[in-house]
A and B are shown apart, each in its own frame.
Chain A
């Protein structure tokens, strides 16, 4: 019985943890501009994420190593420093985008400019990390995060044409604006596969003391949880396609995205959106802040853990505090949160080879995963998707920065 509960909770956790500023914004943009055409990218990104998350949990359960510590041990410090810095920088940027999202949700709700929310939000997050335990953060925020199911409900309330939706799952070339199409495709891949997600997952598995007995749970949670998360991102795309595309609205700011649930829910729609958006971003903020601190602490062998009192993991606590402050700088400086989100999603796609290729080597090394090495299919899916994502990112990021 506890096993069933554990699996259910794990799935709920990943649903709540999946949808955040990145996938919400990129899915809404894709739907508004290209209808259901980009749904296949969400499916592809989700499939790849299922594999990566499952691998991350398997590594932790079998070898009792997190990705970061195994990577440093296997490849040596001089190599490790490259993924360490890359993942840390991309994660800080993503953290900035998510913090911007929380502040934006508060601006939408109150009308008070988002810069004013930076400090209160930072203090709230910091207190939650400082006083809270891993379980509280993981489960509490995720249960609240279930409000994001509103997007799925909205999809049905708007009577989405399921045949056309299904047709969007077939990959195809764009019929117009191909530069923009591929830019959004890579943003979606970056949003589905942000490296912090699977780095974080292996730390969580260690915090929860997983071992080989948990491999079955791990597979279930990764598959079902990430699938449901992907379905939510797809629902956002579908709703955006039905609400914004016929009106000719293209998403350039979160003020526009905020109107997306009104057709489905009337005056509840606005507040549902604000709640779903704010909570989803807050959940992501907590996870990414911890992920950065985990990465650094595990890379240097410090004592770490969200269940340890800050005094007993002083460097760890100092790292997440510093990460929060640094990541908030662009928000305070007035960088548009949606722009920040778009740029960080493309950069996260570009960073995927550095973040995942060494991880893939680990997952095929019997020293670490013993008899539980990757299958050929898993290797192939991850390899193909990350190479695709990186190539698209390198080509389309300049395009976006130049302002195409």
Chain B
């Protein structure tokens, strides 16, 4: 048995290479034809967090964030089928974080800023 709010929401996520790749900021449920909700995905990103604080904050962040291009805030969904393991410390998901938008800000900072400074790599 998995208790969604207790064991999943706000837990640390790590990808298949063991890299921390955000927290389970949101959980996406789908209500089927017969009214039984089913977990379909985990949602990760600043837009999800902002929506939890206030929906208007999320819309505002999305509008202004677009200017950032590649590093814009997002709400990325990891399908529930990719969840491999849930334990006390973290949730392991079968993705390569660096290939997803989860890594966009990290990649942007690494390539645009850190590589241009001495001793960063």
A296-320 residues with Cβ-Cβ distance < 8 A to B are: 300-304, 309-311, 314-315, 317-318
Let me know if A69 and B52 touch, CB within 8 A.
no
Let me know if B109 and A315 touch, CB within 8 A.
yes
Let me know if A130 and B106 touch, CB within 8 A.
no
Q: Which of A77, A304, A314 contacts B114 (CB 8 A)?
A: A314
Let me know if A318 and B109 touch, CB within 8 A.
yes
8 closest A-B pairs by CB: A314-B109, A301-B23, A301-B22, A314-B110, A310-B120, A311-B121, A303-B20, A73-B10
Let me know if B119 and A130 touch, CB within 8 A.
yes
Let me know if A301 and B12 touch, CB within 8 A.
yes
Other A-B pairs beyond A65-B89, A73-B11, 5, CB < 8 Å:
A69-B12, A76-B9, A311-B121, A315-B109, A317-B109
Q: How far is the CB of B93 from chain A (nearest CB, A)?
A: 12
Q: Residue A131 at the B interface, CB < 8 A?
A: yes
Chain B residues contacting A76 (CB-CB under 8 Å) are 5, 9-10
Chain B residues contacting A86 (CB-CB under 8 Å) are none
Q: Residue A64 at the B interface, CB < 8 A?
A: yes
- Chain A residues within 8 Å of B, Cβ to Cβ: 63-65, 69, 72-73, 76-78, 80-81, 130-131, 300-304, 309-311, 314-315, 317-318, 367
Let me know if B119 and A131 touch, CB within 8 A.
yes
Let me know if A314 and B89 touch, CB within 8 A.
no
Q: Residue B4 at the A interface, CB < 8 A?
A: no
Let me know if A63 and B114 touch, CB within 8 A.
no
Residue in A closest to B8 when the chains form the complex, CB atoms? A73
- Chain B residues within 8 Å of A, Cβ to Cβ: 5, 9-13, 19-23, 25, 49, 52-53, 88-89, 105-107, 109-110, 113-115, 117, 119-121
Chain B residues contacting A81 (CB-CB under 8 Å) are 53
Chain A residues contacting B23 (CB-CB under 8 Å) are 72-73, 77, 300-301
Residue in B closest to A313 when the chains form the complex, CB atoms? B106
Chain A residues contacting B21 (CB-CB under 8 Å) are 301, 303
Q: How far is the CB of B85 from chain A (nearest CB, A)?
A: 15
Let me know if B52 and A77 touch, CB within 8 A.
yes
Q: How far is the CB of A64 from chain B (nearest CB, A)?
A: 5
CA distance A65 to B88 in the complex (A): 9
Q: Which of B10, B19, B20, B109 contacts A77 (CB 8 A)?
A: B10
Q: Which of A64, A303, A309 contacts B19 (CB 8 A)?
A: A303
CA distance A109 to B115 in the complex (A): 37
Q: How many A-B residue pairs have CB under 8 A?
A: 72
Chain A residues contacting B5 (CB-CB under 8 Å) are 76
Q: How far is the CB of B104 from chain A (nearest CB, A)?
A: 11
Let me know if A78 and B52 touch, CB within 8 A.
yes
Known: A311-B110, A314-B106, A318-B109. A72 touches B88 (CB 8 A): no
Q: How far is the CB of B110 from chain A (nearest CB, A)?
A: 4
Chain A residues contacting B19 (CB-CB under 8 Å) are 303
- The 10 listed contacts between A and B (C-beta, < 8 Å) are A72-B23, A76-B5, A77-B25, A78-B52, A301-B12, A310-B117, A310-B120, A311-B121, A314-B105, A314-B114
Let me know if A318 and B113 touch, CB within 8 A.
yes
Chain A residues contacting B119 (CB-CB under 8 Å) are 130-131, 310
Q: How far is the CB of B88 from chain A (nearest CB, A)?
A: 7
Q: How far is the CB of B65 from chain A (nearest CB, A)?
A: 15
CA distance A63 to B11 in the complex (A): 13
Q: Which of A130, A302, A309, A317 contacts B20 (CB 8 A)?
A: A302
Q: How far is the CB of A227 from chain B (nearest CB, A)?
A: 32
Chain A residues contacting B110 (CB-CB under 8 Å) are 311, 314
Q: How far is the CB of B114 from chain A (nearest CB, A)?
A: 5
Residue in B closest to A370 when the chains form the complex, CB atoms? B88
Residue in B closest to A131 when the chains form the complex, CB atoms? B119
Let me know if A311 and B89 touch, CB within 8 A.
no
Q: Which of A63, A130, A367 contacts B120 (CB 8 A)?
A: A130
Let me know if B120 and A309 touch, CB within 8 A.
yes
Known: A73-B10, A301-B13. A314 touches B113 (CB 8 A): yes
Let me know if B10 and A317 touch, CB within 8 A.
no
Let me know if B114 and A317 touch, CB within 8 A.
yes
Chain B residues contacting A78 (CB-CB under 8 Å) are 52-53
Interface centre among A78, A300, A301 (most CB of B within 10 A): A301
Q: How far is the CB of B3 from chain A (nearest CB, A)?
A: 11
